[in-house]
């Protein structure tokens, strides 16, 4: 089985609407993507708890709004990276399964 069976998550910076208005930034493998997901989880939880705390105190100001935006952005990013990680995991398992089948088929041919 190919070592890159799970694929890569590629990151582009898009700065316009034309076909050439982007720059490739880099690519993350499975474990790098996993690290991003794991790093975001506590940040999302902490941000949500801070928002709940300030709302419970009755504070509603620009700082609370910024904190809510940060929480929402982190949660969106966590969802995005989690979706990518799940697809990478599925691709790896599919390649592993197909590799096992091709191995067993070749054994029956001999």
Segment 21-59, tens digit of pLDDT: 999 999 999 999 999 999 999 999 999 999 999 999 998
Q: CA nearest 76: which of 107, 100, 48?
A: 48
Q: Could you give the CA distance from residue 42 to residue 37 in angstroms, rounded to a whole number?
A: 10
Q: Examine residue 91 and state whether it is found in any structural domain, yes or no.
A: yes
**Residue 90: domain span:** 29-109
Task: Tell me the pLDDT band of 96, cut-offs 50, 70 and 90.
Answer: confident
Q: Check whether 107 has a pLDDT greater than 90.
A: no
Q: Examine residue 82 and state whether it is found in any structural domain, yes or no.
A: yes
Q: Could you give the CA distance from residue 21 to residue 12 in angstroms, rounded to a whole number?
A: 10
Predicted TM-score (pTM) of this structure = 0.78
Q: Examine residue 3 and state whether it is found in any structural domain, yes or no.
A: no
Q: Examine residue 84 and state whether it is found in any structural domain, yes or no.
A: yes
Mean pLDDT, all residues of the chain:
89
Structural domain count of the chain: 1
Residue with tokens 């493998």: 29
- The confidence score (pLDDT) of residue 98 equals 86
Q: Could you give the CA distance from residue 73 to residue 50 in angstroms, rounded to a whole number?
A: 15
Q: Examine residue 61 and state whether it is found in any structural domain, yes or no.
A: yes
Q: Examine residue 22 and state whether it is found in any structural domain, yes or no.
A: no
- The confidence score (pLDDT) of residue 101 equals 61
């Amino acid at each position: 089985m190919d070592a890159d069976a799970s694929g890569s998550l590629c990151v582009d910076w898009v700065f316009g609407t034309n076909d050439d208005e982007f720059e490739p930034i880099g690519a993350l493998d499975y474990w790098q993507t996993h690290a991003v997901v794991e790093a975001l989880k506590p940040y999302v939880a902490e941000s949500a708890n801070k928002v709940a705390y300030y709302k419970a105190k009755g504070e509603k100001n620009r700082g609370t709004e910024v904190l809510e935006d940060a929480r929402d952005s982190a949660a969106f990013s966590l969802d995005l990276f989690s979706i990518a990680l799940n697809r990478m995991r599925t691709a790896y398992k599919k390649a592993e399964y197909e590799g096992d089948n091709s191995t067993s088929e070749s054994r029956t041919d001999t």
